[in-house]
Structure 1
């Protein structure tokens, strides 16, 4: 008898054949929604045949030397002309490898190198598997029975392999876990999408009849979402300005579409760029749908809750076994292009889902092509629907059309809706120095100013600091920013003086309402998002609420991405400014040098379309900057797919910063846990709430000054606490006293 596992609690041994059958059946179930159950079953049945060796049995039963047991199944499947499944079996512990070439060195981790080793007798004999295992030729996946254009075939095969890999590793984990624990895991939710849809509809019923003009507009959006949700699966856009109620509207579309007869969909997945928006949306969803039905999965969410619900949700993050998932763009897309088992395990759960991209304009242009290609693949071959949800809709229709998908707008007249929900008047000031900017801000009892540079945020703040003045930047840790925002909201509500200087962290998803906003020139989408912090609750008319757009007269270093977006916006805004005269302010104000700027309506959908068309046109050679899609769509043969290379290349955020923890009583135990090598599951999540991201050159300056020390791999702690202030956060001053606030 050959064994696969030994249970620690009672010494019970699991025969390999039992494990293979169970994994094969579960893998097939996972792959059934996309018609690949035949391949998945064979893959599952072959994945551990390398355990039919004396070497592995010594390792298992006698604590012998480590044995490569995964290459055996990969070798057998490759010899059966199933090379895509060979990747999955070879990588079911360490991750999907690169295919490589026949000339790879012996110690290379590529599939070709491992298969060559197996062909040359470099594996422990495992022929005994033939007594238990018969691998019959499986039915082809549905994808391979379709007429796929030649230019799309390579990418489609690589995507299918990763989805099958997900089925295998999740089934392997679950079956092993069940045997070792001697019980099935508790699911986070047993409610179906029909029940969740009914719960939402009961909540939405309370919005009718509408009691105000703004609520009538929101209800019209809700009505459109319900009507269009009965349509076929595909790609949709939901273009709703700030204040239009897109959170409930998108959820109504998603749940009704998913549960519509004939769609047979499994879950709703919300992908959101900022954790601040996730917190807000997930709270709304939990309130309506129940806590066990909503899974938050992102770096800042703490799963150390040891209740049954907390444990079930924590386990559900591994494979997204929940009806509603709220996650980040980073988690979603880096999983789709990942190679590690932990990243890929959840992928099969995406099949048959409604995927809502909230703030869709935040897709990074450097990864735009691989993002769109992945979404289109999910729609065409994996039973998904994608919803591009935002107030500032990017021009993605041409990209989806290239993939054979057309984008359908849900709102019947998005232009009219945008006009009816217009709440501000834009004025273009062109150049504005810090001193004049500070003077203008001091004239306003309540005002928000957003700039592109942390250094400028600090400089302007120092000119206006005093009672009711606040500074926000990423040099303040998240818990600190949360406290400041709470006080800002209190002052705004109470009508007390409140002047805020912030970087862009406040402009999307943060619920604040200022009568006046100043925004340094950036992408038009960013400036419109900033305008969403002005007159948010429609207390004034649009003609009485101003958003001033300006360029700093001083020179500040900003990332090239922001610089280029600002340049595109500048060209469009100057065209708009030519059509309008400087017709605000009295003659005396103009003579005194105080001109209120040129009318510049950047809020129209036509302007937004032009902006994204110009931006994508300018960057057309750089929309797959890391050549992720290129390397997955042009490999020479199925045995040379560069899975690991693509995963390493694909990064949604190119940050390059390292965390510096600011000591606080709330995380004292967690700091000690990292320092002494004993962190728990939630340690790094909690420390993240008290960490500031610092770039390498700034970190080196702090290290030289003895201000920080290392407490673990790539993690540091601030030891000179005089460098952290309640007003401005962390100071990265170098010798000579110059501050670095980029």
Structure 2
């Protein structure tokens, strides 16, 4: 008998039983996109290397580690010529490898490993043939393969890989535990839709013009839900109720006749939006139906369902998944088992990109291409949901996915939901800006750099004193600190007390505050429009009395090139709508400028994409995955040079380079003790993350030179000089010597 696993209580699982169970489960996972025969074959082949005497010595007598993955990869290529499945089997533990080159005689690439098998450098595993027979190539032909371009082939390989590794994990887990995992008790989408409809019906009949507009948007979503799957846009200005509206479209669309969709996936740019949306969804459809997947969610505090929720994040087995853009898109280009095992559950989903304009331009083409692939071959629908549509119509159309607008007459919606007026006041010094803020009882000012935010805050405090209601918000304050500050800000706003807030752009998306007046430093048009959503948010004041003042800082604060480029385009938009940039500040109230119009937003994104046309796939990831038809030939068979590992390493939604500095707090006393002792858990790291500040290399070196931080683990440090963390502005290295860290 050949053994695959031995449980802690001494039970033995035969290799043949494990192979059949994994094959059947993987085939079921792949059925929604028609690749069940491929997934079945991968499952049957993935562990045939365990039929060697060396592996049996390893599993039964704790012998040396043995490569048991290459055997199946080699047999699939030699017998069936199915290189995509060879990738899957070779990587089912360590991750999808790069294809490599025929020049390689050995190494970690697929070709290197096939060479190893070819030269008989693997333990003898041929005994597998006495227990199983691998299906022949002609019996596992994928019907649509003739229509697959190179990118689609790589994508399909990753999807089949997902089916294999999820089935392998679940099967092994079931055997070792002695029973299948306990799943969350979720409800069918039909039940979720009924609960949402009961909530929505409470909005009818609408009272007041605002509610009439919101109900019209809800009606448009219900009407469009029966349309054929594809790519949609939902252009709803701030205040239009897009959270309920988009969920109504998503659930109805998933349930529409012939659509056969299984779940709704919300992807958003920031965890603050995730937390808000997930809470709304839980209240409406039930907490057991909503999976919140991001780094800050603490499963240990999720009650008795916490353990099941943690397990569900591994493969997104829930009716509604709320996650980040980073988690979604980096998984779609990943090669590691932990990231990829959820991918097969994305098939037949409605994917809502909330605040779609936040997709980074450096990865825009790969993001669009992956979404188009999900629409074309995996039964998905994509919804671009935002007040500032990022002009992706031509990109999607180039992949055969025309974008259809859900909302009726978006321009008319913009006019009906207009709550503010924009005015440009030209260049302005910090002191003059502080004076203007002091003249308002309540005001918000958003700038482009942490350095300016602190300088402006200090100036306002000097003028208004401790009782002036002046607050600072930036990422130099850890998340828990920012939450406390926001709670205080909301209380003062609600009570009508003096409240002047100086913040960076973190306040623009996912933060529900309402100011009568807003000042915004020139930035991307989308950022300025999002910032305007913090002004007269509840629509309780006339638009003419709710002003968003746009200004150009006179002092240079060394903003990043990306931001500077967006500011330049914004200036060209202002010029295009007749604003004189030089004379705008002559009048204290500035020059009216409707920079939030749909025309201005479209013009901004068109110019941005044109200016960055050669940088929309900055790392060349999409280029590498669309040129894999440059295959080499081994024994007259093609070997596609798919760079799975390399592409995964280069596809990053957020640029690396930051380090976490944990600020000690009584709330994380035990977690910090555990981390210092080297006994910290993933739960510990999640909890201390709420008390950490992200710093770049130069900033961190200032603190290191002063001995103000110590390394805890990897790129995580602890602040050991608490005097450098101010209760009003957060981490401040200006007293630590050397150059300050506010760049």
TM-score (norm 1): 0.96
- 1:178 aligns with 174
Q: Secondary structure at the match of 1:548?
A: strand
- 2:7 aligns with 7
Whether 2:496 is the aligned partner of 1:495: answer: yes
- 1:731 aligns with 732
Q: Name the CA distance, whole Å, in 1 between partners of 2:82 and 2:236.
A: 47
Deviation of 1:578 after TM superposition, in Å, equals 3.9
- 1:66 aligns with 65
What do the CA deviations read for 1:357-390 (whole angstroms, capped 9, x no partner)?
A: 0000000000000000000000000000000000
Task: Decide which of 334, 340, 343 is 1:338's aligned counterpart.
Answer: 334
The answer to whether the 8 A contact 1:255-1:268 is kept is yes
The answer to whether the 8 A contact 2:263-2:349 is kept is yes
Whether 2:108 is the aligned partner of 1:109: answer: yes
What do the CA deviations read for 1:613-660 (whole angstroms, capped 9, x no partner)?
A: 010000001000000100001021243100000000000011411000
TM-score (norm 2): 0.96
Whether 2:693 is the aligned partner of 1:695: answer: no
- 1:626 aligns with 619
Whether 2:395 is the aligned partner of 1:394: answer: no
Q: Name the CA distance, whole Å, in 2 between partners of 1:398 and 1:227.
A: 25
Listed as ranges, the gaps of 5+ residues in structure 2 are 632-638
- 2:720 aligns with 719
Q: Name the CA distance, whole Å, in 2 between partners of 1:444 and 1:130.
A: 82
Whether 2:210 is the aligned partner of 1:253: answer: no
For 1:154-553, what aligned pairs fall within 5 Å after superposition? Answer: 154-305=150-301, 307-465=303-461, 466-467=466-467, 468-553=469-554
The answer to whether the 8 A contact 1:580-1:600 is kept is no
The answer to whether the 8 A contact 1:237-1:389 is kept is yes
Deviation of 1:539 after TM superposition, in Å, equals 1.2
Distance 1:365-1:639 versus aligned 2 partners, 3 A rule = same
For 1:77-156, what aligned pairs fall within 5 Å after superposition? Answer: 77-79=76-78, 80-104=80-104, 106=106, 108-137=107-136, 138-145=139-146, 147-148=147-148, 153-156=149-152
Deviation of 1:738 after TM superposition, in Å, equals 4.9
The answer to whether the 8 A contact 1:734-1:740 is kept is no
- 2:636 aligns with none
The answer to whether the 8 A contact 2:426-2:581 is kept is no
Whether 2:710 is the aligned partner of 1:709: answer: yes
- 1:586 aligns with none
Deviation of 1:135 after TM superposition, in Å, equals 1.2
- 2:45 aligns with 46
Q: Name the CA distance, whole Å, in 1 between partners of 2:226 and 2:716.
A: 50
The answer to whether the 8 A contact 1:31-1:348 is kept is yes
Q: Name the CA distance, whole Å, in 1 between partners of 2:144 and 2:33.
A: 8
Deviation of 1:582 after TM superposition, in Å, equals 8.4
Q: Name the CA distance, whole Å, in 2 between partners of 1:610 and 1:498.
A: 35
Deviation of 1:737 after TM superposition, in Å, equals 6.2
Q: Name the CA distance, whole Å, in 2 between partners of 1:230 and 1:164.
A: 30
The answer to whether the 8 A contact 1:580-1:598 is kept is no
Q: Name the CA distance, whole Å, in 2 between partners of 1:59 and 1:441.
A: 72
The answer to whether the 8 A contact 2:254-2:260 is kept is yes
Q: Name the CA distance, whole Å, in 2 between partners of 1:233 and 1:552.
A: 46
- 2:596 aligns with 603
Q: Name the CA distance, whole Å, in 1 between partners of 2:301 and 2:738.
A: 45
What do the CA deviations read for 1:400-445 (whole angstroms, capped 9, x no partner)?
A: 0110100000011111001100000000112111011010001010
What do the CA deviations read for 1:583-637 (whole angstroms, capped 9, x no partner)?
A: 9xxxxxx9xx652111110111111111100100000010000001000010212
Q: Secondary structure at the match of 1:514?
A: coil
Q: Secondary structure at the match of 2:600?
A: helix
Q: State the Cα RMSD in Å.
A: 1.5
- 1:55 aligns with 54
Whether 2:24 is the aligned partner of 1:32: answer: no
